[in-house]
Amino acid sequence: MAQKMAIDIVGVAPLYQGPDINRMRLTAVPSQKPASLLKPLVPSKSKLTTIETKRIMSVLDETIHKVELVTLLSYVGANYETLERMLGGDIIKAVREHEDLCQSLLDSVIYLQDKERRLQEEEECEEEGWFRDRLLSIELQKSHLLPLMHQIKESTKNILRLLLNNPQAVSLAQTHTLSRSIEAQNFIDCLTELRGFLFEKLLTSPVEARDKSQFIQDIDRRNKRNQEIINTLEDELAAIMQNREAEKKYKVETEIENWIQKYDMEMGEKQEEYEELDVIHKEEKVQLEELKQKHNVLMEEFSQIRAEQEVNAKKRVEAEQEMLRMVRAATLIQALWKGYLVRSMLKSRKKKRSKSKGRVKKGKGKGKGKGKEKGKGKK
């Protein structure tokens, strides 16, 4: 049963598991915890002893082995030219036929999905009868995919038979496990994990199963009791946190109220100080206006005085300049007068000297005659 289900799941999947195909998960993602962590009790046996259990495990092992081979067909289909000599012509031919079937199925699915999308877009703008006919047509086309899916299943079984009859081909395919898609590998990991659970189940005896069930019940009761304790502690913690929040809130409100009162008091003091300063400012402003008026009057008087001083200074300068000219003129006149007097005196002296010289000359002439006469007399 498990083998048939696994082959059906993998067989109807397209051969190439590209990005669009990988959107469809083959199975749930397996748990990251190993199976050993989930086993509360370890079975006493380590090997299967009955034929039935061995047959069950052999069927599951064979299923896993076939699934591993089927999930490698995409790699074989993509590299059939290089693998043809090693795998043989029959296997490559079967893989290519399988590839064509898978591609046909994929194209049909894409076509139907596109038609459904367009039909949903036209649902509101078309008549109800036309829409129902188109929907029935799509469902009918979907039903035609069943024979194609059956052919793919048979093709998968045929490829598996060819591979299992060729051990060398199986060994060659298993060397390319890294080419397997992530979803396929997850599916194989889940089957492997299922094998571990099944193997453990088959190793467990009825007594061990009963003990294990009792152990699980004890664990469940203990878990419930612990959960009740946790719920009680959480309720107490919530109450404590609520009380604490209420005390944080009361303290904060009290502190805020104190700050508000302090602010009001300080602002009242500042307001009084401001009013006093405002009164002083108004008084000083009145005084300033009076001083400005006095200053303006004084400036006018100062301007008049300064203008008068400038006029007086100009007149004084002019008077000093006039006095200087008069002094210079008087000095010049005095100099001229003195020169005139000196020249007059010199002229008068020259006249007197000339007169005195004339007199002297006349006197000297008379004296010389007398002298001659005296000389002559002596002789």
CA-closest candidate to residue 181, choices 310, 28, 71: 71
pLDDT band for position 125 (cuts 50, 70, 90): low
3-state secondary structure string across 249-286: HHHHHHHHHHHHHHHHHHHHHHHHHHHHHHHHHHHHHH
At residue 117 the predicted structure's pLDDT band, cuts being 50, 70 and 90, is confident
Q: Position of tokens 């009001």?
A: 264
Give the confidence band of 11 by pLDDT, cuts at 50, 70, 90.
Answer: very low
The pLDDT value recorded for residue 344 is 87
- Residue 163: predicted pLDDT: 79
CB 181 within 8 A of CB 17: yes
Distance CA 16, CA 80 (A): 13
Q: Which of 8-12, 160-164, 337-341 shows the lowest per-residue confidence on average (mean pLDDT)?
A: 8-12
74, 173 Cβ separation under 8 angstroms: no
Q: What gap in Å lies between CA 191 and CA 184, rounded to an integer?
A: 11
Quote the CA–CA distance of 163 and 173 in Å, as a whole number: 9
At position 68, the amino acid (one-letter code) is E
pLDDT tens profile 225-271: 999 999 999 999 888 888 888 887 888 888 888 989 988 898 888 88
CA distance 130 to 343: 158
Amino acid 152: pLDDT: 84
CA atoms within 13 A on the CB side of 72: 23
**What pLDDT score does 168 carry?**
73
Residues 6+ apart with CB under 8 A from 152: 11, 12, 98, 101, 102, 105
Task: Give yes or no for a contact between 96 and 80, defined as CB atoms under 8 angstroms apart.
Answer: yes
One-letter amino acid for residue 4 of the chain: K
Q: Beta-carbon neighbour count of residue 202 at 10 Å?
A: 17
Report the b/e string of 239-269 with b at 16+ CB within 10 A. eeeeeeeeeeeeeeeeeeeeeeeeeeeeeee
Under the banding of pLDDT at 50, 70 and 90, the label for residue 122 is low
Please tell me the pTM assigned to this model.
0.41
pLDDT at 26: 32
101: nearest Cα among 150, 172, 138:
150
| Alpha helix segments (H runs only) across the chain | 2-11, 51-70, 73-78, 80-87, 89-121, 128-143, 145-164, 167-174, 182-203, 206-378
Taking the C-alpha atoms of residue 183 and residue 22, their distance in angstroms, rounded to an integer, is 7
pLDDT tier at 12 (50, 70, 90 boundaries)? very low
Out of 30-34, 75-79, 194-198, 339-343, least confident range: 30-34
Q: What is d(CA 371, CA 378) in angstroms, rounded to the nearest whole number? A: 11
CA separation for the pair 106, 182 (Å, rounded): 20
Contacts of 116 (CB under 8 A, 6+ apart): 138
Q: Are 173 and 76 in contact (CB under 8 A)?
A: yes
Burial of residue 147 (CB within 10 Å: 0-12, 13-18, 19+) is exposed
- Which range has highest mean pLDDT (142-151, 257-266, 352-361)? 257-266
Q: What is the mean pLDDT of residues 346-356?
A: 80
Residue 1 — pLDDT band, cuts 50, 70, 90?
very low
Range 326-344 average pLDDT: 89
What pLDDT is attached to residue 9?
A: 45
Query: Cα–Cα distance between 191 and 6 in angstroms, integer?
Result: 9
- Mean pLDDT in residue range 179-183: 79
